[in-house]
Amino acid sequence: MVQSKNKELDVALELFNAELEKQKLKEKELAVVKKAEKKKSDAVKALQQAEKNPNISQEEKDAVKSAWLKADDDLKRILAGEEPQAEEETKAEEPASEDTEEPQAEEETKAE
């Protein structure tokens, strides 16, 4: 009868630990979502301030807008159960910037 109680206790502990792990995982996932929501909220505030400020250059406004778009995309990915994109992946997907187009224009001028 002692073994029977030990088996029941072992099973109960196993179930308890499994539920505890599930709860910890859920809390961790919730923390990731909250962090992404805060990052997006901060990016929205920064974008609103940048748009209201006439002293900020268009390049700076574009950088702030890009940060907001990335934060929004990251939040959507997290909510969909995916991993957010890394900075390198985001930069690789962006079209060529004006900086890369200018040297090409200079090369065309030299060729003529």
Helix (H, G, I), strand (E, B) or coil at 84: coil
pLDDT for residue 96 is more than 50: no
Task: Render pLDDT for 55-91 as a digit per residue (tens, 0 to 9).
Answer: 989 999 999 999 999 999 999 999 998 887 776 555 5
Task: Render pLDDT for 5-47 as a digit per residue (tens, 0 to 9).
Answer: 789 999 999 999 999 999 999 999 999 999 999 999 999 999 9
pLDDT at 88: 59
The CA distance from 53 to 68, in Å, is 17
pLDDT for residue 99 is more than 80: no
SS3 for 16-73, per residue?
Answer: HHHHHHHHHHHHHHHHHHHHHHHHHHHHHHHHHHHHHCCCCCHHHHHHHHHHHHHHHH
Q: How many CB atoms lie within 10 A of CB 17?
A: 10
CB neighbour list of residue 72: distance below 8 Å, 6 or more residues apart: 40, 43
What are the tokens at 22? 């599930």
pLDDT for residue 94 is more than 60: no
